[in-house]
Chains A and B, each alone.
Chain A
Amino acid sequence: MNRRDARRLALILLFMPFALWIALLILLPHIGMGVLSLREKVGPRQYEFGFGNYIDFAQEPIYWNTLLRTGSMSLLVTALALIIGFPIAYYIAKIAGRRSRGALFLLCLVPLWVSDLIRAYGWILLLRETGIISGALQYVGLVSQPVEMLYNDAAVIVGLVYTVMLFMIVPLTSTLDGMDDAMIEAGYNLGGNGFTVLRRIIIPYAMPGIVSGCIIVFMLTAGSYLTPVLLGGKNSSWFTETIYEQFITRYNWEAGAAFGFLLLAFTSLVVWLGLRLSGQSLTSTVARS
């Protein structure tokens, strides 16, 4: 074996885990799901090829309403995460000292150290009628009766924003960090006020980070399961829940697979629209950060 072969072998070995990961855990299951979603059940152990599962979706307003609801709530979560995350990212990247920056990042990371489930239960403990916030409000005397803050859409949004915040802050901080402070000063120097500098200089500069943060957050939110299920109320159905129901309680893997693809297509469409509207491309945003 000569040196060139050895190098090629090393390259193949290095690439192998990634290739296997893509092929076995992403490609294969999706192909399987794709095939599954195109099977129509006609009787026990009898299937036919067809688009029946997708047609079912189109004909049942409950399903597409749930999907639209999931989409619009996810957009709201994304917007909130951006509005809350941007000042934090700006503070970390531009105002905080070098030393406190690491500590601040760490603080943002802390919520990810505990599992989804524990985080959701944390919110339940806080928000429930006999929970901490309700108790504190009564103690202070702001309310005379226990207040229920759990089991509604607001609780779901709060829980989701909390969970995804880091994924907004990291790309924002890294783009803002790359911005020369002189750029901001130049913005002021040339006559811009704070708002103009923010709107015409900082935000356009941070656009790749904003878009990539939004994409990640939106995808995570639309695909989340535990938080909406545990914090959601009587009326807050989430599309992943519908998929879970199809797979597990209704044994309808075919429809579940079709719904999975519809969710993927829907989120991809939203992301594509977002990229079009912001004038960014995938390579300039997600691939960059």
Chain B
Amino acid sequence: MGPDDLDLQCLGVSKSFGSVKAVQDISLDIASGSFFSILGPSGCGKTTLMRMIAGFEEPSAGDIRIKGRSVLEVPPNRRNVKMVFQHLALFPMMNVYENIAYGLRCQRMGKEEIRRKVHDVLDRIALPDVAGREIHQLSGGQKQRIAIARCMVLDPDVLLLDEPLGALDLKLREAMKIELKLLQHQFNTTFVYITHDQSEALVMSDRVAVMNNGRFEQVGAPQELYHRPATAFVAGFVGDSNRWSGRVQSVDGAALEVATEGGLPVKCTAANDGTLAKGDRVELFVRPEFISIDRGSQTSGLSGIVDSLLFNGANSRALVRTDSEELVEADITLTGGTDDIRPGERVSLTWAPENALCFAAAGKAA
């Protein structure tokens, strides 16, 4: 992949505010036409990174390139990077048409051409009739689409989206996720999407960067992050997991045996072919969907008593209290029939060792 195929590159970008290092040595390459997400908890520096790309902040170090050309010297209004703001920042004193035409007017485009382009983009976002409406007359989803159209009409190299779904209610948010993905395909423009919601990132993105404390923990496809997390933070942040702390009992290549603090012996796999030695402290992650529940006790694995059931259709879960007083979440299927597991029943929990991932615990001394 040469630089020609890259819409956006960050090379060792850092940003400090006084003594606070908001972004530290970030490098990334984003391929043309892809949907890239930056996922991280609030305060991780993702917004600062995005504001640097848009030109509202200047990096303390490093370089930002768009289509292979450095933009550090380019003021924000000359960068062909457009942005959808968290609260959309539609201009309330202009109607929909004016909002979309604003950027074109800034380019001193002719009246007729502006008309054509605005109506064209409204057609593409499937809102052909709202041109004359005031902003406050639009629904939440419509505002969202107008905010995107306002940027897309300018044909940007990169579109930045700063948690634009945050203000929407759940149902709409689910619908918009799909719609955003479709819009991205339709416009075939590079989207850089900032969010703290892992499900948004996983559903929409081609690639996701997980960010924590100003650094990237891992960059990869959603599946990769989910199934092969590079760090304990990623494993914990992306998707749900049961998490234990423990100590390595024996090592056999990548296959380990770990005793949790509660004293359970667990078979697991060292992540990233990591080198762990006997006696190391580890963090152990097992996703609920890899745990199978069976009635009665079995010799291998854990056993416990069902504490409660969390019914959520296909995503229902059981909370099982193990004999060592730890709570474990496991996915189950609740059909509503008489066969279903009920609270109070004694069950055993099993999983394949390759689905239990071990990471060296932070500060793994002793």
Contact = CB atoms under 8 A, between A and B. Distances in A.
Chain A–chain B contact at Cβ < 8 A = yes
Interface of A: 180, 182-183, 185-193, 196, 200-201, 204-205, 207
11 contacts: A180-B89, A186-B83, A186-B89, A187-B102, A188-B76, A189-B54, A191-B106, A192-B77, A192-B102, A193-B106, A204-B93
B82 interface: yes
B91 A183 contact: yes
A201 B107 contact: no
A59 to B, nearest CB: 46
Contacts of B94: 204
Interface residues of B, number: 26
A180 B88 CA distance: 10
A285 to B, nearest CB: 13
B106 A190 contact: yes
Contacts of A187: 91, 102
A190 B85 contact: no
Nearest to B160: A189
A125 to B, nearest CB: 45
B89 A200 contact: no
A185 B78 CA distance: 13
Contacts of B105: 200
Given A190-B103, A191-B77, A191-B103, A207 B93 contact: yes
Nearest to A197: B77
Interface string B88-108: 010111100000001101110
Contact of B83 (A189, A205, A207): A189
B227 interface: no
Interface of B: 54-56, 75-78, 81-83, 85-87, 89, 91-94, 102-103, 105-107, 150-151, 154
Which 5 pairs, one residue from A and one from B, show the smallest C-beta to C-beta distance? A191-B106, A190-B103, A182-B89, A186-B89, A182-B85
Contacts of A200: 102, 105
A97 to B, nearest CB: 14
B93 A191 contact: no
A186 B77 contact: no
A5 B28 CA distance: 71
B76 A189 contact: yes
Contacts of B87: 180, 182
Given A187-B91, A205-B93, 18 more contacts: A182-B86, A182-B87, A185-B83, A185-B85, A186-B83, A187-B102, A188-B55, A188-B75, A188-B76, A190-B103, A190-B150, A190-B154, A191-B78, A191-B103, A191-B106, A191-B107, A193-B106, A204-B94
Nearest to A186: B89
A57 B99 CA distance: 51
B93 A188 contact: no
B91 A196 contact: no
Nearest to B107: A191
Contacts of A191: 77-78, 103, 106-107, 154
A190 B82 contact: yes
A189 B91 contact: no
A122 B208 CA distance: 66
Contacts of A192: 77, 102-103, 106
Contacts of B93: 204-205, 207
Nearest to A189: B83
A190 B56 contact: no
A189 B102 contact: no
Contacts of B89: 180, 182-183, 185-186
A193 B77 contact: yes
Contacts of A204: 91, 93-94
A183 B86 CA distance: 11
A201 B91 CA distance: 7
A41 to B, nearest CB: 53
A207 to B, nearest CB: 7
Contacts of B81: 189
Contacts of A196: 106
Contacts of B106: 190-193, 196
Contacts of B76: 185, 188-189
Contacts of A183: 89, 91
A209 to B, nearest CB: 12
Contacts of B56: 185, 188
Contacts of B77: 188-193
A180 B151 CA distance: 18
Given A185-B56, A191-B107, A196-B106, A205 B92 contact: yes
